[in-house]
């Protein structure tokens, strides 16, 4: 069974709002926003049980606040948050995280699915920038030679609604081996098709240093316009990378996203039957209602819609997809 998780628009009012402090990792924002959205929908379905004249709220079945369509379970039942102004009024940025331990052969379908969810959510036919994050890539590891020559440089802009804090605090990045360039280019072909179809205006990559860019660019038919990097010190970027990016007309943006933005254990805790869970998944020895099986996160997509003339983020949120494999 496929599980489709959503945060709804985390910029809207109400109890579901979780806005990330400047120091906070995107995985904290993602998990907090998922919990808040699940709890909001769960509470709206809560019933009251009266025993001996005492009324107590009872935890509703997850079936009352989720929706199953064919083999997909939407958690929670999803309602789109359409943009309020014409499409041309917005800059829309999407970042797609390919997660560790998922076959690269699935990415063509996964990429289409992720973009379709975002387009339907916002009620728009296109996005301005699509950035992809491949598993197992660390900017520091990729560009060690450049890192040894660190020196202060002018401020590098951050991507929309991210901050440039150190990459280590709080991330549970998996020890996935970096993929070879050929595998990345195979995935990139799907993105190039989206660009050809005018669904996406610009493409971007994440965590590419000089060495990897030098191997990647000659093979890319549609070259990346953006390279989003995570650096140890705020706004300090290796000078060789800055010079190379300028030469190749690639914009550098900094971010504080985790590569493995949704670890399996974290997702199981959120969906589980424990104190911190919402009861979608049954516990190991739980005979009560709840889905049984192994949870395998597949991908996460983050979207941000900024009103151009005001610089205001009108809509921001996440979708995540996982597979439940019956045990």
Contact 261, 166 (CB under 8 A): no
- pTM of the shown model: 0.86
Tell me what pLDDT residue 157 has: 61
At 227 the three-state DSSP class reads: strand
> Whole-angstrom Cα distance, residue 187 to residue 193?
11
> Measuring CA to CA, which residue among 306, 290, 264, 317 is closest to residue 36?
317
Q: Is 51 exposed, middle or buried (0-12, 13-18, 19+ CB in 10 A)?
A: exposed
Tell me what pLDDT residue 140 has: 63
Q: What is the pLDDT of residues 239-249, one digit of tens each?
A: 999 999 999 99
Asked if pLDDT for residue 16 goes beyond 50, the answer is no
Q: How confident is the model at residue 196 (pLDDT cuts 50, 70, 90)?
A: very high
Tell me what pLDDT residue 211 has: 94
Q: How confident is the model at residue 259 (pLDDT cuts 50, 70, 90)?
A: confident
Say what angle helices 181-196 and 107-122 make with each other, to 10 degrees: 40
Q: Is 169 exposed, middle or buried (0-12, 13-18, 19+ CB in 10 A)?
A: exposed
């Amino acid at each position: 069974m496929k599980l489709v998780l959503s945060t709804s628009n985390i910029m809207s009012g109400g109890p579901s709002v979780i806005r990330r402090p400047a120091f906070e990792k995107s995985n904290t924002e993602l998990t907090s926003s998922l919990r808040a959205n699940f709890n909001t929908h769960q509470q709206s379905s809560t019933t009251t049980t009266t025993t001996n004249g005492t009324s107590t709220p009872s935890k509703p079945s997850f079936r009352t606040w989720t929706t199953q369509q064919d083999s997909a379970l939407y958690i929670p039942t999803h309602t789109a948050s359409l943009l309020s102004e014409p499409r041309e009024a917005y800059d829309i940025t999407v970042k797609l995280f390919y997660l560790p331990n998922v076959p690269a052969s699935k990415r063509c379908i996964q990429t289409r699915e992720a973009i379709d969810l975002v387009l339907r959510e916002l009620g728009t036919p296109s996005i301005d920038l699509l950035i992809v994050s491949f598993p197992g890539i660390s900017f520091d590891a990729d560009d060690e030679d450049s890192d040894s020559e660190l020196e202060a440089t002018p401020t590098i802009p951050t991507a929309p609604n991210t901050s440039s804090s150190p990459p280590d605090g709080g991330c549970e990045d998996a020890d996935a081996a970096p993929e070879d360039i050929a595998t990345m280019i195979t995935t990139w072909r799907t993105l190039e098709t989206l660009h050809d179809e005018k669904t996406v205006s610009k493409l971007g990559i994440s965590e590419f240093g000089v060495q990897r860019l030098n191997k990647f660019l000659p093979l890319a038919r549609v070259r990346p316009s953006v390279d989003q990097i995570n650096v140890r010190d705020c706004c300090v970027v290796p000078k060789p990378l800055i010079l190379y990016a300028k030469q190749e007309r690639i914009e550098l943006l900094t971010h504080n996203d985790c590569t493995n933005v949704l670890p399996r254990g974290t997702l199981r805790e959120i969906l589980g039957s424990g104190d911190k869970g919402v009861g979608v998944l049954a516990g190991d020895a739980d005979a009560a209602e709840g889905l049984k099986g192994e949870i395998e996160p597949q991908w996460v997509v983050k979207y941000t819609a900024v009103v151009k003339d005001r610089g205001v983020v009108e809509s921001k949120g996440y979708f995540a997809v996982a597979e439940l494999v019956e045990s």
